[in-house]
Amino acid sequence: MERFLVTGGSRLAGEVGVPGAKNSVLKLMAASLLAHGRTTLRAVPDILDVEVMADVLRALGAAVDRDLTRESLSIDVPARPGAAADSDIVRRIRASVVVLGPLVARCGEARVALPGGDAIGARALDMHVNGLTKLGAVVDVEAGTLVARSSGRLQGASIWLDFPSVGATENLMMAGALAKGTTVIDNAAREPEIADLCAMLTAMGAKLDGAGTSTLVIDGVDELRPTVHDTVADRIVAGTFAIGALMTGGDVLIRGGRADHLDIVLDKLTTAGATVDVRGDGFRVVADRPPRSIDVVTLPYPGFPTDLLPQTIALEAVSEGVSLITENVFDSRFVFCRELLKLGADLRTDGHHVVVRRTDRLVGAPVVASDVRAGAGLVLAGLVADGTTDVSEVHHIDRGYAGFVEQLRDLGANVRREPPAAR
Ligand code: UD1
């Protein structure tokens, strides 16, 4: 596995472009399955997860062609796509579970390997399963594979989600788009990526109302048509650079960044001492004094995004004062804290809270990226640590950040990608 060597001490300054959102494009790719013919997605980020999702679609019979120079992806979906997503591929990304809704709606059957072999009713996918069942599908687990079947067309229904799950909202709105009658999803997720998927489905001919609110109303149609769609900008990548600018006393223009998708984040960063200047083509973050601590609570959108939590904990490790951070969306986010401690951070976790105090200096050390956002947080910490931070397992970072090393270098950071360390 490759690693990143990050040598601290540089200030991030200049301009950086924001690619299309990972958390949107993977669902847009799944949505292409709803229509026969060629869908074109634009502003597609050059990340590993797009490759994996392309393989999922290929295994279902679609022809997927990527044009890296144009950042576009064309997906030609056959009249009768296959029902079974390849299990080895599917297990590599949890997001691939969103092919379930489109496939069962269009073909009457979908088979998707369970991520890590979860049982039905286990926390992770219960809302997906319960919602599809309400729409008339019969969902079972057969030999570690989630199988959804529908003898005729799915039937619109009212669905209340226990929690505004992003993936469940997406799966169910795609299924509802081709169901007979009206589907109402209440307590739906409101993330900008959901609104992006709604926009694409509408362009495909779906009848959807309430995009970006917690009640989605979908009048099912008989058929959808392929479309051309631009992926929304990645607010998590934009937020990562904004935090990096503040941590390093930098000045970064985040071109294409959607400040309106980062309201609470930019407000917090302003409280922490950054000056944020929103412009027509993005926003600029200037930090001309050391950061002050802020308290952060993660919540579904429009709350503070859990996907910026590790980066924020890294920021707090060098901010003046004491910060209380609360994670409400995922159980396992704080694995990252163990790695940050290796750099000398002063923090303590208790359940879903972490208290972070400013440390005089972080010192570079070997650390492991446990997931895509933890990896980004460790790279940011490395930018302000003395010496060199050796971040391994960077394939996780490649899953969600296109050309991260190059982008950071263009901003003046001392970062390079290296082959695996010799054992
Ligand atoms: C998506 C994002 C991820 C982000 C998360 C929350 C993608 C590819 N990933 O993940 O980066 O961190 O939203 O903003 O878009 N849950 C259940 N039962 C379910 C579904 C979810 O209990 O049926 C739980 C999950 O275990 C988790 C919480 O709900 O604790 C949120 O999950 P969800 O919003 O579904 O996240 P994802 O769609 O998996």
89 and 10 within one domain: no
Per-residue pLDDT at 145:
85
Pocket around ligand 1 at a 6 A CB cut-off: 23, 26, 94-95, 123-128, 163, 165-168, 306-307, 329-330
262 and 226 within one domain: no
Residue pLDDT tens, the chain, 423 long:
899 999 999 999 999 999 999 999 999 999 999 999 999 999 999 999 999 999 999 999 999 999 888 899 999 999 999 887 777 777 777 778 899 999 999 999 999 887 653 344 455 889 999 999 999 999 998 888 889 999 999 999 999 999 999 999 999 999 999 999 999 999 999 999 999 999 999 999 999 999 999 999 999 999 999 999 999 999 999 999 999 999 999 999 999 999 999 999 999 999 999 999 999 999 999 999 999 999 999 999 999 999 999 999 999 999 999 999 999 998 877 889 999 999 999 999 999 999 999 998 999 999 999 889 999 999 999 999 999 999 999 999 999 999 999 999 999 999 999 988 776
263 and 162 within one domain: no
Question: Of 40, 57, 4, 369, nearest to 230 (Cα)?
Answer: 40
179 and 41 within one domain: yes
Tally of domains in the chain:
2
Ligand 1 centre distance from Cα of residue 306 (Å): 10
In a domain, 49, yes or no: yes
Ligand 1 binding pocket mutation candidate from 96, 123, 166 (most atoms within 8 A of CB): 166
Residue nearest to atom 26 of ligand 1 (CA): 124
Ligand 1 centre distance from Cα of residue 118 (Å): 15
195 and 332 within one domain: no
pTM of the prediction?
A: 0.96
Cα–Cα distances in Å, from 292 out to 19, 271, 299, 319, 358? 29, 8, 22, 5, 9
DSSP per-residue codes, 165-213: -HHHHHHHHHHHHTSBSEEEEES----HHHHHHHHHHHHTT-EEE-TTS
In a domain, 73, yes or no: yes
Does 118 qualify as catalytic in the annotation? yes
Per-residue pLDDT at 123:
54
Last residue of a domain, one of 206, 230, 254: 230
The answer to whether the beta carbons of residues 263 and 302 sit under 8 Å apart is yes
116 and 257 within one domain: no
Dist CA 81 CA 103 (whole Å): 8
Tokens representing 319 are: 């901010």
Last residue of a domain, one of 172, 204, 230: 230
Ligand 1 centre distance from Cα of residue 190 (Å): 13
In a domain, 182, yes or no: yes
Ligand 1 binding pocket mutation candidate from 112, 134, 146, 163 (most atoms within 8 A of CB): 163
In the chain, the amino acid numbered 25 is V
Dist CA 246 CA 273 (whole Å): 8
User: HSE (CB half, 13 Å, CA atoms) of 281?
Assistant: 6
254 and 216 within one domain: no
DSSP 268: H
Cα–Cα distances in Å, from 73 out to 47, 169, 395? 12, 24, 22
356 and 222 within one domain: no
DSSP 118: P
211 and 128 within one domain: yes
Per-residue pLDDT at 120:
46
In a domain, 28, yes or no: yes
Last residue of a domain, one of 230, 254, 271: 230
In a domain, 120, yes or no: yes
Which residues constitute the domain of residue 86? 22-230
180 and 328 within one domain: no
In a domain, 423, yes or no: no
171 and 155 within one domain: yes
CATH of the domain at 268: 3.65.10.10
In a domain, 147, yes or no: yes
Per-residue pLDDT at 115:
67
Ligand 1 centre distance from Cα of residue 91 (Å): 16
Cα–Cα distances in Å, from 228 out to 39, 132, 256? 6, 27, 20
Ligand 1 centre distance from Cα of residue 62 (Å): 26
Ligand 1 binding pocket mutation candidate from 165, 312, 334 (most atoms within 8 A of CB): 165
345 and 251 within one domain: yes
For residue range 23-61, list pLDDT tens digits in order.
Answer: 999 999 999 999 999 999 999 999 999 999 999 999 999
Cα–Cα distances in Å, from 40 out to 62, 74, 103, 283? 13, 4, 19, 28
Q: Which of 46, 76, 118, 410 is an active site residue?
A: 118
